[in-house]
């Protein structure tokens, strides 16, 4: 890894013969740094409790976007209504909190959030559109039958991922990943989710675009505006980076509420009203006050070999996705590169999350959250305690559903505007691995 640096020093070292040997170190290229500098709190150094709680809640808010998006897309196709969608969201949030706790204590112990996976949408949509469910005329019965089939496929997929990872098969694959292969793996993990960034923002530009501008201003320009001419800070500018999402969401949400209350969307198409209005999610009224997800709440799962193989293919994709995010989170947590055995153990616990989703009735699999890894970079805080607090918020607000439904009613274009920024940081982490290559 140091060949590039040594070569650079050798080329510039000829000046030493001319009496300028002291210039050799000045002309050397930047040294390779296994741990990313500039991180304010690393994996093992937690911030003060108040800041940790606020930052943990910020991670919870960011993970809500994908957690609400997937059931909102799939449950209506299955025949379910707002009440079924609310229960599925609570189940997903509950399993995400449990899996994040498992990952934090027993898995990689990196600052990563386990969240619903967008990769499973293609096989799940295939199951939903299967002809064997078209014979049910009652929408609720069709929803239950479809959910049972999805549960069976998720259970088999979770067992497959657990076996592949805990038996060391995935560890032997990760051993062959060099920095040159990790670089595009982590980079395209961030770029691959841009289809839920700008396309979702475009559904309601008048709400999403202001959120994008406000977040960029708070995180990039507000610290400079708070400086006096002589360079004295009026306020700690680093806190703008830490709490950018906490400052951005209330402002844009209030703006969306003003547009809704003023009647701007009253005569707009139905799709525009669903994306832009703050009173069209149907979650607050249909979510129970207290709800604890329990195994097989929709009935006994059904198993289909074709559905299971399609779901296992999606699981194999998430293994690569999670591996790239583990390396990126290690960079943003200022940790040393993780060994293949730890990567395999972490993906194994994600398989446990997929298995739990299949048993409890979650509608999709579990993977490492790309957005939350990007938030680590934006806040410059990679503390494990912050992630554990975020998991506690997930568990608490999934059980006490009314409180969680209030935050889940944030319009999706607002969340999409945040994704457009944080996903860039994930891609930059992948590009940073090029320093370990002899270029």
Residue-wise pLDDT tens digits, 58-101? 999 999 888 988 998 899 999 988 889 999 999 999 999 999 99
For 73-91, the DSSP string reads: HHHHHHT--HHHHHHHHHH
Helices 121-128, 305-332: inter-axial angle, 10-degree rounding: 160
Residue 55 lies in a domain: no
Query: Which whole number is the average pLDDT over 408-427?
Result: 86
Tell me how far apart the alpha carbons of residues 46 and 339 are, in angstroms, rounded to a whole number: 23
Question: What confidence category does residue 34 fall into, taking pLDDT thresholds of 50, 70 and 90?
Answer: low
At 224 the pLDDT is 74
Residue 8 lies in a domain: no
Residue 279 lies in a domain: yes
| pLDDT (tens digit per residue) in 312-370 | 999 999 999 899 899 889 888 888 888 999 999 999 999 999 999 999 998 999 999 98
At 101 the pLDDT is 96
Q: How many domains does the chain have?
A: 1
pTM: predicted TM-score of the whole model, two decimal places: 0.86
Cβ(253)–Cβ(211) below 8 Å: no
Residue 141 lies in a domain: yes
Residue 363 lies in a domain: yes
Residue 76 lies in a domain: yes
Alpha helices in 138-281 (DSSP H): 139-166, 169-174, 179-191, 198-202, 205-216, 222-225, 238-242, 244-261, 270-276
- Domain with 93, as residue range(s), is 61-436
Residue 406 lies in a domain: yes
pLDDT of 9 higher than 90: no
User: Taken in order 90, 65, 381, 106, is the CA torsion positive or negative?
Assistant: positive
Tell me how far apart the alpha carbons of residues 299 and 103 are, in angstroms, rounded to a whole number: 29
CB atoms within 10 A of CB 126: 13
Length of the chain measured in residues: 439
**CA 155, 384, 64 angle in degrees (round to 5)?**
55
Residue 53 lies in a domain: no
Half-sphere exposure for 246 (CA within 13 Å, toward CB) = 16
At 239 the pLDDT is 67
* H/E segment holding residue 191: helix 179-191
């Amino acid at each position: 890894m140091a060949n590039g640096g040594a070569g650079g020093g050798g080329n510039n070292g000829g000046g030493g013969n001319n009496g300028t040997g002291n210039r050799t170190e000045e002309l050397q290229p930047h040294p390779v740094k296994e741990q990313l500098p500039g991180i304010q709190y690393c994996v093992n150094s937690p911030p003060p409790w108040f800041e940790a709680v606020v930052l943990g809640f910020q991670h919870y808010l960011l993970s809500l976007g994908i957690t609400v998006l997937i059931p909102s897309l799939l449950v209506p196709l299955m025949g379910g209504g707002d009440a079924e969608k609310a229960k599925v969201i609570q189940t997903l949030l509950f399993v995400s909190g449990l899996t994040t706790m498992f990952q934090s204590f027993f898995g990689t112990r990196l600052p990563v959030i386990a969240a619903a996976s967008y990769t499973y949408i293609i096989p799940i949509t295939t199951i939903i559109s299967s002809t064997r469910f078209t014979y049910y005329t009652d929408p609720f019965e069709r929803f239950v039958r479809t959910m049972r089939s999805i549960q069976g496929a998720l259970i088999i997929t979770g067992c497959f991922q657990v076996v592949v990872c805990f038996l060391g098969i995935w560890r032997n694959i990760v051993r062959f990943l060099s920095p040159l292969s990790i670089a595009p793996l982590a980079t395209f993990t961030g770029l691959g989710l841009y289809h839920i960034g700008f396309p979702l923002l475009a559904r309601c530009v008048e709400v999403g675009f202001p959120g994008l501008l406000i977040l960029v201003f708070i995180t990039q320009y507000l610290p400079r505006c708070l400086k006096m001419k002589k360079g004295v800070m009026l306020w700690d500018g680093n806190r703008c980076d830490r709490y950018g999402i906490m400052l951005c969401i209330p402002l844009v949400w209030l703006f969306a509420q003003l547009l809704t209350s003023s009647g701007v969307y009253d005569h707009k198409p139905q799709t525009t009203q669903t994306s832009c209005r703050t009173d069209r999610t149907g979650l607050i009224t249909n979510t129970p006050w207290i709800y604890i997800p329990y195994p097989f709440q929709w009935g006994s799962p059904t198993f289909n070999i074709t559905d299971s193989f399609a779901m296992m293919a999606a699981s194999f994709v998430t293994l690569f996705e999670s591996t790239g995010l583990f390396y990126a989170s290690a960079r943003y947590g200022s940790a040393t590169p993780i060994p293949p055995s730890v990567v395999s153990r972490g993906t194994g616990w994600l398989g446990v999350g997929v298995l739990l989703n299949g048993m409890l009735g979650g509608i999709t699999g579990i993977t490492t959250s790309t957005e939350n890894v990007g938030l680590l970079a934006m806040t410059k805080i990679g503390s494990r305690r912050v992630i554990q607090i975020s998991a506690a918020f997930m568990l608490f607000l999934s059980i006490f559903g009314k409180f969680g439904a209030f935050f889940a009613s944030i319009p999706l274009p607002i969340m999409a505007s945040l994704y457009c920024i944080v996903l860039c940081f994930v891609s930059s982490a992948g590009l940073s691995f090029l320093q370990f290559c002899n270029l």
